[in-house]
Copies of this chain bind each other. A is one copy, B any other.
Amino acid sequence: MARTIKLAVVGGDGIGPEVTAEGLKVLDAVLVGTDVSIERTDFELGAARWHATGETLTEEDLAAISTHDAILLGAVGDPTVPSGVLERGLLLKLRFALDHYVNLRPSKLFPGVPSPLANPGEVDFVVVREGTEGPYVGNGGALRVGTPHEIATEVSVNTAHGVERVVRDAFARAQARPRKKLTLVHKHNVLVHAGHLWRRTVEAVAPEFSDVTVDYLHVDAATIFMTTDPSRFDVIVTDNLFGDIITDLAAAITGGIGLAASGNVNPDKAFPSMFEPVHGSAPDIAGQQKADPTAAILSVALLLDHLGLTEQARRIEDAVSADIAERSGARSTSEIGDALAARVAG
């Protein structure tokens, strides 16, 4: 039965469009010979649009994007735009409006990839980062700005509803993996209100997943283990900000953000999920074909997985794994994309 996937594409800023192009190339290649076809809509969002119109993401954009099955995003942020405008007005607005409460970030050290760690061991874990709450809610403000009496606040908002659904999702992911281990990362000795809500929720949900081992680490200690014993991690569940921090660290120890993929997932499929590399827009190397598109390509694999095309997702991952094992010398962004497209088509 033929199937059409309506895909919204947001290349975004900096290296975003370049790496996205390679993601789409590999997507097309992996679907050759299947009855799945892609119906693609490009959305011009990011710095250029903001400069031209002052808009980041309009209600019309959002409505149009919402009619799609999934979103592929490159990167957002540009030094010519005030910090926060695109991040909050575009990227976070998408994550919040489309209720991407599971921000999925797998970290795997592929054989052959150099890690900055001397003895990384086997690293293969997934961070389930909450995506719609915490200090990311934009619930702060400032008083007497620019005076010696300025006060600026940022409010982390955490709800039973929001924490429970992401904790449940993380437990289910842990249960589906061989090691069946879930580590809650928070800082409940200081952030007692939010921390205790997270802790109580994990304790309350745990009996439904009695074969999953539960562990807890303060976020500061988690960064230590990430460098001294990363193999201890299987599935990590954590808040939006802690997740932001530890997934960049996780990317670093597994060979860099050039390889780290992510999914902003609405597991209920009430809204399209969005897939993007963990890296930023890297304006310093934009337009030079220097960016590694592997993270964007692995994000396409997560997208396929989410849409139930698991065999195609595995083919991309296997292609990346094989390609990495044979890497030598510098290749351009499109050369890497070509090589991976050839492999998945193979």
The interface of chain A, by Cβ under 8 A from chain B, is: 77, 83-84, 87-88, 92, 115-119, 135-136, 140-142, 144-161, 164, 187-197, 199-200, 219-221, 223-224, 226-228, 241, 244-249, 251-253, 256-257, 280
Contact = CB atoms under 8 A, between A and B. Distances in A.
A147 B160 contact: yes
9 contacts: A84-B192, A84-B195, A87-B190, A142-B196, A149-B160, A149-B161, A152-B158, A152-B196, A153-B158
In the assembly, how many copies of this chain are there? 2
Contact of A155 (B136, B154, B227, B249): B154
Contacts of A164: 148
A273 to B, nearest CB: 21
A219 B241 CA distance: 10
Query: A-B pairs with the 6 shortest C-beta distances?
Result: A220-B248, A150-B160, A223-B249, A152-B193, A84-B192, A87-B189
A229 to B, nearest CB: 9
A84 B228 CA distance: 26
B117 A189 contact: no
Contacts of A247: 220
A153 B192 CA distance: 9
A153 B151 contact: no
Given A150-B160, A155-B155, A156-B140, A192 B223 contact: no
B140 A197 contact: no
A118 B88 CA distance: 37
Contact of A156 (B148, B156, B195): B156
Given A116-B227, A146-B200, A249-B249, 6 more contacts: A83-B192, A83-B196, A148-B160, A151-B157, A153-B158, A224-B248
